[in-house]
Structure formats: C-alpha cells, structure tokens
Amino acid sequence: MSEAMIIDPERLVLVRKTRKIGRPKLAKLTGLSERAIARLEGALNAKGDVPLATVHRIAIALQVRPELLTGQLPFTMAALLPTEVPDCCSCGTCTAH
Amino acid sequence: MKQALGHFDNPVPVYLLTGFLGSGKTTLLNRMLRTDAPRTAVMVNEFGDVPIDNDLFKVDGTASDLIETSTGCICCEPGNDIVSTLARLSEAMDNGEVSAVDRVVIETTGLADPAPIINQMLMSSHHSIAGRFFALAAVITTLDALKGEETVEERLLAHKQLAFADRVALTKADMLHDDPAGRREALAALVARINPSARILDIQDPLAQPETLLDHGIYAPDGRSMDVLAWLKDESPLAKAFGVQAPSQWLPGNRHSDVYTKSLVIEGSVTSRQVTTFLDILMRAAGDRLLRLKGLISLADDPGRPYLIHIVQGIFHPPQRLQSWPSQDHRTRLVVIADGIDEKALESFLLTLKPKKVRRSKS
C-alpha cells in the first residue's frame, strides 16, 4: 500500500455532511487546519496526495472506512453506516496519527 | 368556475392498471368500466402482440371506451412511451376524431415494471401534453389470490408492482377452497408487509364496487386536488403503532425478500439546505435501489407550508410547496420503499434528517 492517497473531495463533503459535522469541527477532531480540510474538499486549490495517516485520521473522525474517502469503496448506504475504524490500519506505513 | 377537464386546474386523471401475467387485469378493467361509467380512454399494452390498429384509437360506438393498442412494452420500449400516446390522444380529441374523455386507464403488460411508467407520467405532469393536461391519479395492481403470494415471492417484478400500488385489487378470491378466510388474511398480510399504505379491495366480494378503484386521483400533482394524506398514508399504521404523540419513530420494518418499507416521523423543522443535502446523499448512495420515497417535510422558513417530495426508482420529481398541512399533524413524515439496501444503514441515514436541536423560530 502506498504511503500517500488521494481523497475524493466530493466523497469527503458528502460523508462529512452525513455526519453533520462542519469543517471547523472536523479540523478539531483530526488536528488538521480548516484550510487543509477545505483543500481536501476541493474548495481551495492545490489538492493532491495526502499521507495515509491523514486519510486514516479523517476516517476515524467520520467513522467510515478510509477506502470510502478515497473512492475505492462504492458509495452506498452500508458504507455510510458509522463504523469503528481501528487506530492503526496495520499497513506498517503510518507511524503517527 | 370549474375548469373543463384537461386544463391545468382540472387535469384528466390517468390510472395505471398493472399486475403480473394472468392476474386478472382485463377482467377487472371490464368490471370497473360499467356502461354508465364516465367516458374513459383505455390504453392496452400487450407485449409482443400484433396491434389491431397500429397506434390508432378505436372508438366503440355505444360503449364509453376508447382503445389504443400498441406493440412493445411501454415501460422499456422507446417510442411507446405513455407521454407520446397521451399526446396522440390529445390531438385526436382536438381534431374532433374522438370526443373528450373524462379519464384514462392504462393497462400495462403483466411484465411491465411500473416505475418507469410512473416516472414518465410524473415527469410530464409539470408541463402540458399537447396543450392538454393529464395527471397520474393512481396505480392499481391486481393480486391473484391463488398464485399471487408465490409470484410475489419469486418475482421481483411482481413485488415491485405491488410495492407501487395505491390500490390493490384482489382477484380470483372466489376460487379459494382451502381455508379461504385464512388465505385472504395471509394475502392482506403480504400486502401490508410490502406496501402498508395500499388499499385492498376483494373484487369478488359481492359488496365490492370495483369502480371505486377509479375514485378521485391521489397523485394529482397540483397540490390542490391531491389527497396528500391518502398518498402519504403512513398515518394509520403509525397511529396504531405509536399513537399520535409519538416522537421520532420507526414503523416496524416490513421485511419481505429484499424489498422493504421504512417510515419515519420526526418532530421539528429542517432547513431547505438540510433537505437538499439529505436527498443528494440518499440518491447517490441508494441509486435505483430506492424504489420509492414519499415525504412531507416541515421546512424551517415557513413551517406552515410543508414540502412534498417524491422519488421513484432513483428519480427525484419536482417537489411542491403545499399551501398548508393536510391535517393537524405537522410532523415531517417519510415513507421509503427500498430494494436490497442495508436496512440498518438506511435507518441510520434517514435519522440524519432529524434536526439536531429545535431552534426557536424567528418571529
């Protein structure tokens, strides 16, 4: 598994809205800045790969599998069901959350 | 002053008669159309049959009926769509080839999926069809008392035909010999599981009046003539299950095969933005597995004027803002018929429409 992933901006917005979480709150939950969240959601320029650990942190905060955010998992009702995301994905590439 | 039929204030009601092969649609049709019935245009769609008069209307002298035949299936064959057929009917009326009709009955083939037909009708109902106005009034589904249960179990199509019904006509119940009362109950339970809002009429009952299946329309989209409560009939089971003071609640899931119904009632108003987001996510995540959604929503900007929404198999129809609530109950209500969507996930998602907190309305 690569160390960097691309978050699907639209997915991130939809999942965040499903959870009824605003950008400020998601920023707080993930330790990212609001601008960083906005960038990931495509609201600002310069979007690109993000560290896997970041994807993971967001997934934990939004209670979804990281693959839903990256677009590898189909966007379904079942995928939106709040899920416990393990602290570590055991991929060996991320060292900090 | 009351407008003549066929104008925006008074559309010609269109009834969709569906039901699985051999379930008694034509027999029912003949019984519904008595000689003293209002003048009715009947469109029969026989899949694969050679048409008697291709795409022409036939007027039967003394009878009040008008017949249109066509080959192909109206639910899936381009060019055989309901809207163009109605447009031809409208033209024929305008040209004086046929006199004006009071209503239209479309008898589908037994293998027709009702959803695309309903979609065609509802999509077209917001503009005039060839200068005239038709509106889907109700979906009537025949359910064969002898074989219906088995067919519905085995055929998704039969299941959908039942799920989309506003009115279910139970046919052939006079041919039940083993425990007829018990069988009738089982059939009623089947309908209640799949489509709790449908009204059932046993057409073999001597007291039954099959013509009442063609009573006034409940789909009529102008919001004035529409009987919203009948259309969104989760009222009675809800009242039975939880009582009128019930807070946000689920109706018990009506699980049957992969198709099931969920109903939700929530207190408080939501913003139109919340509704838009909610529907956007729902449609994306559920797609055409969302067979049907009917909803009456209390909007925060003007809670006295509810928002009526309708989705048929993944297609969102133009919502309407009603002038007022149809009853004293001003709670938001949603009825969803889903096919194969994870039930827990859908429940969980539907609850996201619930307002986080009740805000004081600005005076």
**């194969």: which residue's tokens?**
B340
Look at A75 and B344 and tell me if their CB atoms are within 8 Å.
Answer: no
Picking from A77, A80, A81 by the largest number of B CB atoms within 10 A of its own CB, the best residue to mutate is A77
Of B277, B280, B349, the CB nearest to A77: B349
B29 φ, ψ to 5°? -55, -45
| Confidence at residue B239, expressed as pLDDT on a 0 to 100 scale | 29
* Digit-coded pLDDT (tens) for A61-84: 999 999 999 999 999 999 999 988
Q: Which of B25-39, B122-136, B205-219, B289-303 has the lowest mean pLDDT?
A: B122-136
Q: B109 CB contacts (<8 Å, ≥6 apart)?
A: B45, B46, B47, B73, B74
Q: Is A77 within 8 Å of B284 when comparing Cβ atoms?
A: no
Q: Where in chain B is the domain with CATH 3.30.1220.10?
A: 231-353
8 Å CB contact of B352 and A20: yes
By the CB < 8 Å criterion, does A17 face chain B?
A: yes
The Cα–Cα gap between B269 and B267 comes to 7
| Spans of all domains in chain A | 4-80
Confidence of residue B128 (pLDDT cuts 50, 70, 90): low
Provide the ipTM: 0.82
All CATH 3.40.50.300 domain ranges in chain B, comma separated = 12-214
Alpha-carbon B135 to chain mean position: 12
Fold of B231-353: Hypothetical Protein Yjia; Chain: A;domain 2 (3.30.1220)
Mean pLDDT value across chain B: 72
- Strand, coil or helix: B48: coil
User: Which tens digit of pLDDT belongs to each residue from B78-104?
Assistant: 444 677 778 777 877 777 777 788 888
Q: Give the global pTM.
A: 0.63
A15 to chain B: closest CA residue: B281
User: Domain A4-80 belongs to what topology?
Assistant: 434 Repressor (Amino-terminal Domain) (1.10.260)
Mean pLDDT of B173-195: 87
- CATH class given for the domain over B12-214: alpha beta
More confident residue, B46 or A21: A21
CB of B363 within 8 A of CB of B275? Answer: no
Q: What are phi and psi of B179, to 5 degrees?
A: 45, 60
Yes or no, beta carbons of B284 and A18 under 8 Å apart:
no
Name which of B89, B13, B91, B26 is nearest B58 in CA terms: B89
The pLDDT of residue B301: 92
